C-alpha cells in the first residue's frame, strides 16, 4: 500500500517526497518526550522557510587542525554536536564569532 501525505509548500520546495510505501518507511507516530529528549521542540529544529537561519547553528565550540584542513565542533540549537570541515562552516556567523572569541 502506498500513502500520499499532504505537505506544506515549504516542504515541497525542499524536495520532500509526498508518497511513501507503508512497508518501507512509515511508522506509528510517537510524540516527543521533552524530559527524555530535551531540545527537540519544533521551533528548535531547522526551518523550512524561504531563508533558514544557517540550519540553526548555535555556536562553534572547538576546532582541530589548521587552515582549510581544520575541523570545527558545531553546537546546534537542538543540542546536538558534530564535527564539520572548514568549507562547511566558513560562511557562518557562528564561525566569525568563534574566530573573534579566539582572537584570530
**pLDDT per residue as tens, the chain (104 positions):** 788 888 888 888 878 888 888 777 677 777 777 777 666 665 555 555 555 555 678 899 999 999 889 999 999 887 888 999 999 899 999 999 999 998 88
Chain position carrying cell 540550519? 55
Question: In Å, how far are 7, 24, 26, 29 from 21, measured between CA atoms?
Answer: 16, 6, 7, 16
pLDDT value of position 8: 83
Helix (H, G, I), strand (E, B) or coil at 21: strand
Distance CA 65, CA 54 (A): 23
CATH of domain 2-102: 2.40.50.40
Report pLDDT for 51. 54
What is the reported pLDDT for 16? Answer: 83
d(CA 18, CA 78): 25
Sequence ranges of the domains in the chain: 2-102
Q: Where are the alpha helices (DSSP H) in 32-89?
A: 86-89
pLDDT for 46 equals 54
Amino acid at each position: 500500500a502506498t500513502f500520499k501525505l499532504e505537505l506544506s509548500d515549504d516542504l515541497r520546495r525542499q524536495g520532500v517526497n509526498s508518497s511513501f510505501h507503508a512497508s518501507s518507511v512509515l511508522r506509528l507516530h510517537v510524540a516527543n518526550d521533552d524530559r527524555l529528549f530535551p531540545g527537540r521542540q519544533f521551533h528548535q529544529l531547522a526551518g523550512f522557510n524561504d531563508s533558514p537561519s544557517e540550519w540553526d547553528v548555535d555556536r562553534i565550540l572547538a576546532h582541530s587542525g589548521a587552515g582549510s584542513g581544520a575541523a570545527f565542533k558545531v553546537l546546534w540549537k537542538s543540542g546536538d554536536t558534530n564535527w564539520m570541515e572548514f568549507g562547511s562552516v566558513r560562511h557562518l556567523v557562528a564561525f566569525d564569532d568563534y574566530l573573534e572569541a579566539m582572537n584570530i
